[in-house]
Amino acid sequence: MPGAVALGSNELASYPCDIDGQIPTSGIYRLVGNISIRTFTCPSGHQYTDQNDGG
């Protein structure tokens, strides 16, 4: 995944997991065109993404 950046703990805490509300154990951020995509891994092993197209 080119351009992926690991998220810090403060950023992880801002994006609780979508199924159980737990703070993700890890997350990465990447920019695809003008869309920012964050991918998180929850303590349960569940993964989810958060997209922001700037609009």
3-state secondary structure 15-54: CCCCCCCCCCCEEEEEEECCEEEEEEECCCCCEEEEEECC
What pLDDT score was predicted for residue 55? 59
Whether the pTM exceeds 0.85: the reply is: no
Confidence of residue 1 (pLDDT cuts 50, 70, 90): low
pLDDT tens figures, 11-38 = 999 999 989 999 999 999 999 888 999 9
Cα 55 to Cα 53: distance, rounded to the nearest angstrom: 5
Q: Give the burial class of 27: count Cβ atoms within 10 A of its Cβ; 0-12 exposed, 13-18 middle, 19 or more buried.
A: buried
Q: Which residues contact 21 (CB under 8 A, 6 or more apart)?
A: none
